[in-house]
Amino acid sequence: MDINPRNWKWARKSDILLILSLFLLQNHLKVFVILVEANSSVHIVYLGQKKYEDPATTKRFHHEMLSNLLGSKEAAKSSILYSYRHGFSGFAARLTESQAEAIADFPGVVQVIPNRIHKLHTTRSWDFIGINRHSSKNLLTKSNMGKGIIIGVIDSGVWPESESFNDEGMAPIPSRWKGICQQGQLFNSTNCNKKLIGARWFIKGLRDQLKMPINESDMEYLSPRDAGGHGTHTASTATGYYVNKANYGGLATGLARGGAPLAHLAIYKACWQIGFGGCTDADVLKAIDKSIHDGVDILSLSLGDGIPLYSYVDHRDSVAIGSFHAVIKGITVVCSAGNDGPISQTIANTAPWVITIAATTIDRAFLTAITLGNNHTLWGQSMYTGKHNHGFTGLTYSERIAVDPNDDSAKDCQPGSLNATMAAGKIVLCFSQSPQPAIASASDSVLEAGGVGVIFAQLRDDGIQSCDLIPCIKVDYEVGTQILSYIRKARSPTAKLSFPRTVIGKWSSPRVASFSSRGPSSMSPAVLKPDIAAPGVDILAAVPPSYGSGFALKSGTSMACPHVSGIVALIKSAHPNWSPAAIRSALVTTASQVGTDGSGIAQDDPNHKAADPFDVGGGNVNPNKAVDPGLIYNISIGDYVEFLCSMGYSGASITTLTKATIDCTKKGHFGLNLNLPSITIPNLRKTLTITRTVTNVGPVTSAYKVVVQAPHGITMTVTPQTLSFNVTTQILSFKVTFFSTSKLNGDYKFGSLTWKDGKHRVRIPIAVRAINFESFADL
């Protein structure tokens, strides 16, 4: 033992220095930890589908992955906030930017997403048209969310287990309901509840058409169960119950619901994915027949014929025939306009007793950044949420890697057109050569050739198709040309594709979807079609679980139709005694003609031309105004019969519709005088007078003054100029005289006629085509 006092002195000094050093080191480490924590933020590490069914195993897997990143189990435990291990696999953890970048390269990691603060909002389309859950003044509240109303959907069936069809908060099934829950493959009575109160399926017509036995398969269910998703999507759009945090691969996240969340749903499966697929007239007619028997209030049909159309008394037009019988029973029938636009005269479902719906956009986009090798960033849209290389990758133009340089099919990346050796590992730029762009097909072609991504330039700007295996980004021709210019200038062109993100409220909307079929009607030009437009582009709604999250984004007038079906349920709940014609009138006369930027609704084409009544009918649906229209244009069944007589159909043929003996006595211009909430004159020679009748559904005592916007080259005179209603007078007629000042045959010109009382604005669209000769004898 050292007993030298001097040595003791130096030992004490050494101890003090050591203790001081340890103290400083400890504080330095604390400061370092604080700095690290200050530079950390919560990131969501998304791993996609679960690798393990056992939640505990999944949780351990998450901790091991984080431990490997951070260096210890203790650090991982301190970092992790949540382990997602039931519906999907992933976790939320505090990470620095460098740690987030590092873990993004780990095997199995699909995406690393910075955590953000969100406000609760719907999946957009209902908020966009003014039906907000939290407002006490809108139609959703006034109608008690459609409580007690029954919507029948004729489509491809339903996935009953979807959260959209749970019956939480639903009223008991109405005692008037006569429907059943028909059994079949993977479907029985337990699949129905107070929300989904009935389900039937109809296949005899298809079985006969195919001339072959139809057996149970994975591609289709011989029952009301939906295999393809179309029926589930439309049904949940019309009347789905509230589902929190609905999304498609993380896109369009929000509160999903249908238009009438408390309305009951009845499913009629008449459309199939067997053979060439589709819905036969026999099956559709039987579905309509059963729906009338069962007691539905509304029928929603997102189906129809193409051009040429059959006559309204021809049983091959099953929708026109069946819907006529439904309307006789007071059932409102809502139909899609078709997806053959933007060509004129392509509209389907043109019978005057159905409500025909065009499709428009909403103010939501899924922006995706394309960063070129010169650091110039361009923007497109995409729904791809899978895993791909985050870094810069080789970029080429499809024509440069064509199998046959003389074959134009490589331009839009058609199957088999690309050289696999030259496409391997590259992002491929393709240019659509067709009016019907096929980005999904191009994606398959590029993938088959070994490519890792697609940039698809196309003319049309509405609707996005999903690509499941490689990123595909839609751009317009301008952006596509800029990318091509870069490719041609660069020695080794590269690009980096980002993940899409949901952006709301940055574009003027609505715009008419280019695919939406246009009027005028080729069957009855004097009947304005479509009646109205509604959201139908990139609509999020429920689908079978084979889609992944149970929700998907779809586009089409099929998606627009159930929006209006849901709104009709709300109106019917608020006004149970209104006729189908009265409800249609309320929708048309209160529709909006103005976009979010204050300008008129435009078509969704590169020139954004102004929309006209053959694009949108009365305009874009405005539910909150439709519940209080002020005046309505009503139509009786007898009026429809006289309309059919005026079209030249025989009394015998119309008798088959009405089951009453019809004697068609010609009445001059009755087709033009059918009391529609619109006026369309296909052939105006000099002058013509039209009559309309309105019923007051507003304050008993009220006075309306007329405001006219005459079509170009046409003068309009309205008599009387004022309509005065009182206790004894609630129905009044007026006459509109049209006079053509044109000396040439021309195209349709458009205008409007509006009655105003200071509160209500009751507007009907007008379309007139002036002619100066009808035959060579007039020349």
Q: Hey, which residues are catalytic here? A: 155, 230, 558
CA 753 – CA 708 distance, rounded (Å)? 5
CA 99 – CA 463 distance, rounded (Å)? 36
Contact criterion met (CB below 8 Å) for 573 and 143: yes
Task: Tokens 């019309």: give the residue.
Answer: 238
Q: Cα Rg for the chain, rounded, in angstroms?
A: 31
CA 740 – CA 734 distance, rounded (Å)? 20
| Of residues 118, 27, 561, the one with CA closest to residue 332 | 561
Contact criterion met (CB below 8 Å) for 19 and 11: no
Residue 275: CB atoms within 10 A of its CB come to 14
Contact criterion met (CB below 8 Å) for 377 and 370: yes
Query: Crossing angle of helices 557-574/230-239, nearest 10°?
Result: 30
| Of residues 242, 228, 129, 227, the one with CA closest to residue 195 | 242
Secondary structure E strands in 544-669: 551-554, 602-603, 631-632
Would you state the torsion angle of the CA atoms of residues 143, 149, 151, 152, taken in this order, to the nearest 10 degrees? -170
CA 134 – CA 257 distance, rounded (Å)? 13
User: What are the structure tokens assigned to 139, written together?
Assistant: 């139609």
CA 140 – CA 137 distance, rounded (Å)? 8
| Of residues 444, 415, 352, 385, the one with CA closest to residue 641 | 352
The string over 120-129, giving b where at least 16 C-beta atoms fall within 10 Å of a residue's C-beta and e elsewhere, is: eebbbbbbbb
| Of residues 334, 341, 331, 325, the one with CA closest to residue 356 | 334
CA 532 – CA 613 distance, rounded (Å)? 9
Contact criterion met (CB below 8 Å) for 757 and 630: yes
List, in sequence order, the alpha helices (H) in 104-245: 125-128, 139-142, 204-210, 230-239
The conformation of residue 541, written as its DSSP 8-state character, comes to E
DSSP 308-328: SPPPTT-TT-HHHHHHHHHHH
Secondary structure E strands in 435-589: 453-457, 472-475, 494-497, 501-504, 511-512, 532-535, 539-542, 551-554
Q: What kind and span of H or E run contains 718?
A: strand 714-719
Secondary structure E strands in 236-318: 243-248, 251-256, 264-269, 298-301
